[in-house]
Chain A
Amino acid sequence: MGKTSKDKRDVYYRLAKEEGWRARSAFKLLQIDDEFHIFEGVKNAVDLCAAPGSWSQVLTRKLRNKDDDSPTAKIVAVDLQAMAPLPGVIQIQGDITQLSTAEKIIQHFEGEKADLVVCDGAPDVTGLHDIDEYVQAQLLLAALNITTHVLKEGGVFVAKIFRGRDITLLYSQLRIFFPKVTVAKPTSSRNSSIEAFVVCQNYAPPSGYIPNMSNPLLDHQYCDWNEWEGPNRVIVPFLACGDLSAYDSDMSYPLDTEYKFRPPTQMPINPPYHEAVCIKKQDQLAKPAVDQLTKFESLELKE
């Protein structure tokens, strides 16, 4: 396959590189905003699981430098992994399941709470959908847990979900904290992908709820076996985002003859497979002993 074939197949991948976004997911947040206006009046925003930083980029472009007189918004990006620095974004390299991280965020807002928390985190998928959906749900619940510490009442929480078998359990958990939960699917997210986003508005924790980080939030269970297959599952409204003139992420667009290939804006920083790939490149992966014989013998001959 050619170097540019992904550019042709995936218009948003191409546009992201052209417009300097670190990942194509930037368009997803922009299109969610088109529909829900999540950035209106936001002073403090948090980006959880921020690396490589495309949503933080959207936050800076949308919340800062609009006009110079308004007090600029504060943006805090949290991720476990290292992330290349971004101007205007305060970065915390930390674990979102730790209370100390929540405290650090509040510290940066000078005691204030956030108006908006976004989370585009996703695990490396294994290929077994039930595991992937579970880990994604845990990631979202961890994000929700820290959000209950830092989000102001009435605030907005946007997070990625995988629409899978037990997604209704996650909806019911979110409903406890947000009266308005909507599933959003931006046109920049592929029709064929199981990914979607929950837009949770009007944060209103149950009265008397004390945020508690010492225990992880767990997703709900089916009350009884009926719910497994029955009609009582919690279904939340769906909204497609992005106007109809927007590019279609499933469509293949031809490239101009003048088109020039661009490398990705930000390469991954120290991925887990880094060492293994180095070893493979040097042809140092272990080889079965039996296969070595003919190689050794032919070496001997040359001497």
Chain B
Amino acid sequence: MIKKLHLQTHVTALCIVKPHFLLEGCGGFLNLYNLDSNELLESLDIFRGARIHGIQYSSHNETVVAFGGKLLAVVALNRSQSAVSRLKILQKSSETDWIRDAKFVNDGDYLVTLTSHNKVLIQKTTSKAEIIEVQGDEQCILYCGKILGDHLSQLTILAGTVFGNILVWAASTSQKDKPLFHRLTGHNGVIFSINYDEISQTIISTSDDRSVRTWSLLFEDEKPSSFNLWSLFQRAKIQAKYELYGHEARVWNSVVMRQNQCDSALVASLGEDSRVCLWDLTSGTLFSKFDAHPGTSVWAAVWDQLRKLLVTAGGDGSTRIWNVNHLQETTCRQLKLPEEGQVPRLVVVTSTGYYRYLVFSQQGIIYGWNTDTQLWTSLFQDERLGNGSVLDSDGRTVIFGTRTGAVFVFVSGPSLELLTTHQLEKSKIYSVHLVASGQFMACLDNGRLLLLNIFDGNDSEPKTRFILPEGKQRWPSCILATQSRFMMGDREGSLHLYSTKKETPLQSFLNIHGKNGLTDIKSDPLGRNLYYTSGRDGHVGLWHLTDDQNKLELLSLTNTSLGWIARLRWINHQLTYLAFQSDRFVVWSSQQQRSLMQVPCGGGHRSWDFDVTSDVTLLFIKDKHIYEHRRPLSGVFSSSLPGRCGGHSKSVCRGRFIGFNEPLILTGSEDTTMRLSRLEKRSAQSLTIITKHVSSVRALAVKQLGDRSGTWLSISAGGRAQLSVGLLTLSGQGDQIHVIHHDVRTHFLRGWLRRTTNKPWIHCGDHPSLIPDPETRYMDVDVVDRGDRNFHIIAACSDSFIRIFSLALDGCRLDLFHELSFHNCCVLQVKVVADAYGNSILFSTGTNGRLAVWNITLLEEDKGIEPIGSLQVHQSGINSLDCQWVDVDRMLILTGGDDNALICSQVEISCERNVLELIDQQKQFPHAAQISGVAMLSNNLCVSVSLDQRLILWKQRDTQLTCLSTICCDVSDIQGLDVFPGTTKSLVMVYGQGIQVFEVDDSTSVIQNLEYPSATIVDPLSA
């Protein structure tokens, strides 16, 4: 029997139920949350695999109607505090056509549905049999529709057609004619949504043409009462008001947000471009635009008027809560200095003190800004603080180094207080740095660094001296102090490790962050001897300091694709990057993989400071003016529903279980990232996101190093001929699992190709040059342990080769070792198993349906090998394969193909005799579409999964398979499966447009209650 455990896929429907409930449709599951306590109360599988597209709640009968595809369910919601089970299915039905909208009218006595061919079905809720059908005059396919009116006598339909028209018609049951009030034209594509705002009497539509349009109801004479919808729409002239272009892709839906009845409304439009645009309905101006579900579509949104929250749901399987109220409080303004002619040079935002902003002018005057009085005050003047001075600040202490070797230390408190001054050598100070525990470091000429105590005052002897390696710009850009070590980054992009006892570095990593400079070093708040570095090359490095503190190891260097990263900050326990991308300042969350805030400040070459308290503040200088950009913290950081924090933004190409203290899953996706996730709260929670691939991650292989170690070798491969090796080190348990990813080596296939150039000064035209050959895709990988931390990696390639790489973990070497050529078509699968004699046997399959078997135990470089044999198993591509030994030379092979066939073959394989012989074969066609995943479990169980979304559990005896049970998955476009074997119960994960995890065992399933009423096939003769 198969049981659904965890699901992460598109969230496509949301509904708020007062006072504090949120209903969410994820796949066929209806989830109920408490918005106040942020907990998942209940999860009910109402559609068994079909997706929920809409949820409507009626307070009259305390009932929810959920619909998706042709299915509709009526669910009672018990709102009382004490209820144990709050959701109860009252009725389920299946219509003949796709349902676009459904709602209760007449105080819950009737249920009205609008289907995709512009037909309205009216059903009395008390007697189920009676259905009235009202067919609209036009029968073309609707992509969306809205039922207006709370009473049968007022039912008005807004229908968006495939041809870009909006039809407004009265669904009258009494009259024969169904008057078409209006046909609104203007959109240049399919209409994806229509909404109606009663208060402003505006229709809002979104479309394939990437626009949001608003349409106003206008009246020449007296306005009819808004309760009489028919006369309202009949007498109105509907006029196109605004065409709003703000999205860069299709616009799926919109929601009206209104604080109070009388307020003007905002409209949130939801785009395929992952953004939410907030438009002012009255003026048509764009109020705000933010990246809500990065890399994927925003499918649904609801407005919680009580809490002033916007809840959005997207293709990454997350449901996010936005404090829009606070988004509105964003201010950006210029703060003019009180005295004319003063040119601001440097700015500092203090986290404490009376003066929140400090500005240092070119003439050496310090101004302080108080947020209550909204005034600048001149605080201090010393011309040495003018041009040429450098500063550092930790939000409380501000330190200055001048051109003449003087150091000023200020503390921001009730006022700005000059703490001490130091006079160092009469040399220019190139940089000053506050380091921990009352010390600072100053850099003089020729890379000479002095470490001093702040309180020692003038003419004190430096504690220690250091010297920076030679370079063009020989001063540090950032310094981090640990117990007895200093890490320094410099303007050359190098990282140095110093001990307090030695003048020269213990270790140097030259130009590790490119040549434009290393910008920040931060330690991990959990300790663990981990450190992060950032650079102007847009990379983030993760470092480990060995226990003896003498060596830094680079674990990974990640390209963030942000232009330049200026600082690292831990905000809400998330590593956040403060970066510049073209002319914008960007606050980027590494955990959410999205920008939290963007300010067009003109780029990175300016003085700026950033602070997070209850407000998020950016102070910067542009064109000799000071600007303040401020917004409330909760307008920047959204919160997610528990268990709905989201996963990959695109299709998951491969998933693998990792059996740590509990089964974790590693997934690779088309969105180019890998995620290691933990299964919790009926969903999956990402523990770490690995972004080292330049293209989709199509193949994964994992192997535990040693039996008990917490370290796994992870091999990932995919598009643009990239193969990457990493080590995942896991510790902790439960929700305290920590992951360290060590990026060992990445390999790109390169070929000798002639590159022609039209730049004659580059002598490239006649010489073949080594350039990446990026068009080969890796389709699958497997790994063989060869002992002594040496491995062979076998990769299936789209250019018909099987490539074997040798990996030596100790020397950190990854080299192409061998190329096998046989298939002459795209190779889809590779799998290596050991035989009874210790030989490594490789199975490979191609798009031509052929399975080849190889002995790769002994491979010599430069010596080609032939397969032991090959079998034509399928008509076309073999997408999945699993095998098991049944005897010394006998093996069962289970394959699933593009031709819908599931084939179980028994073969004789002998490396010694070089024999591959087919003994027996059984073919089945249990699936309606291509089979993308098969696996053999223990106790003669097998599973198969297909793009038809069915997961089938089989009992296998020899090559004979008998079906035990079938389940319909909630994940579409299933790319494959992986199993986590257990003694009685095993876990099965299917992946595609999301992830779903099942529990399977061989107990027979209880016949489930078949709630759906049977309906006969519509006979075309009777139509």
Contact = CB atoms under 8 A, between A and B. Distances in A.
Q: Do A and B come from one complex?
A: yes
Interface of A: 1, 5, 8-9, 80, 95, 97, 124, 126-130, 134-135, 138, 163-165, 167-168, 171-172, 176, 183, 185, 187, 191, 194, 206, 208-209, 212, 215-218, 220-226, 228-231, 233, 235, 238-240, 244, 248, 250-254, 257, 272-276, 279-280, 284-291, 293-295, 297-298, 301
Contact of B51 (A8, A130, A220): A130
A293 B620 CA distance: 13
Interface stretch (B350-358, B509-517, B914-922, B946-954): B946-954
Contacts of A163: 928-930, 947-948
Does more than half of chain B's interface fall in helix, strand or loop, or is it mixed?
loop
B209 A273 contact: yes
Contacts of B973: 129, 194
A127 to B, nearest CB: 6
Given A165-B968, A183-B900, A257-B754, 7 more contacts: A130-B972, A164-B972, A212-B1023, A230-B966, A272-B188, A285-B248, A294-B600
Interface in B991-1023: 993, 1010-1012, 1014-1018, 1020-1021, 1023
Contacts of B315: 127
A254 to B, nearest CB: 7
A220 B1018 contact: yes
A274 B209 CA distance: 8
A164 B826 contact: no
B929 A194 contact: yes
A143 B285 CA distance: 43
Contacts of B901: 238
A220 to B, nearest CB: 5
Given A276-B210, A298-B623, A138 B1021 contact: no
B289 A288 contact: yes
B51 A217 contact: no
A194 B876 CA distance: 14
Contacts of B1011: 225
Given A130-B51, A218-B96, A235-B900, A191 B828 contact: yes
B641 interface: no
Contact of B602 (A235, A275, A285, A294): A294
A128 B12 CA distance: 9
Contacts of B967: 229
A221 B96 contact: yes
A224 B1013 CA distance: 7
Interface stretch (B302-310, B327-335, B441-449): B327-335
B925 interface: yes
B712 interface: no
Interface stretch (B76-84, B166-174, B426-434, B772-780): B772-780
25 contacts: A5-B775, A128-B51, A163-B929, A164-B948, A167-B948, A191-B847, A208-B1021, A220-B1018, A223-B1016, A224-B1014, A231-B966, A233-B928, A235-B900, A238-B901, A248-B847, A251-B799, A252-B826, A275-B245, A276-B210, A286-B245, A286-B277, A287-B286, A288-B286, A289-B287, A297-B622
A165 B775 contact: no
B825 A248 contact: yes
Interface string B795-821: 000111000000000000000000000
Contacts of A164: 929, 947-949, 972
Scoring A127, A167, A228 by chain B CB atoms within 10 A of each residue's CB, the highest score goes to: A127
B207 interface: yes
Contact of A285 (B49, B246, B775): B246
Q: Which 4 A-B pairs have the closest CB atoms?
A: A272-B189, A276-B210, A163-B929, A129-B972
Does more than half of chain A's interface fall in helix, strand or loop, or is it mixed?
loop
Interface in B297-355: 297, 299, 315, 330-334
Interface of B: 10, 12, 48-51, 68-70, 94, 96-98, 116-117, 139-141, 163-164, 188-190, 207-211, 244-248, 250, 272, 277, 279, 285-289, 297, 299, 315, 330-334, 598-602, 622-623, 625, 627, 751, 753-754, 773-777, 798-800, 825-826, 828, 847-849, 875-877, 879, 898-901, 925-930, 947-950, 963, 966-968, 972-973, 993, 1010-1012, 1014-1018, 1020-1021, 1023
A297 B972 contact: no
A187 B1011 CA distance: 42
A198 to B, nearest CB: 12
Contacts of A221: 70, 94, 96, 1015, 1017-1018
Contact of B899 (A228, A240, A248): A240
Contacts of A289: 285-287
Contacts, number: 254
A280 B247 CA distance: 9
B826 A97 contact: no
Contact of A248 (B248, B332, B751, B848): B848
Contacts of B285: 286, 289
B948 A97 contact: no
B118 to A, nearest CB: 10
A217 B1020 contact: yes
A251 B849 CA distance: 14
A102 B375 CA distance: 78
A240 B849 contact: yes
B1020 A272 contact: no
A297 B334 contact: yes
Given A167-B928, A286-B246, A138 B1017 contact: no
Contacts of B279: 286
B1017 A223 contact: yes
A291 B245 CA distance: 17
Contacts of A276: 209-211, 245, 247-248
Contacts of A138: 116, 141
A235 B928 CA distance: 6
Contacts of B246: 285-286
Contacts of B164: 272
Contacts of B1010: 224-226
A10 B513 CA distance: 36
Contacts of B49: 165, 228
A300 B927 CA distance: 68
B925 A235 contact: yes
Nearest to A277: B210
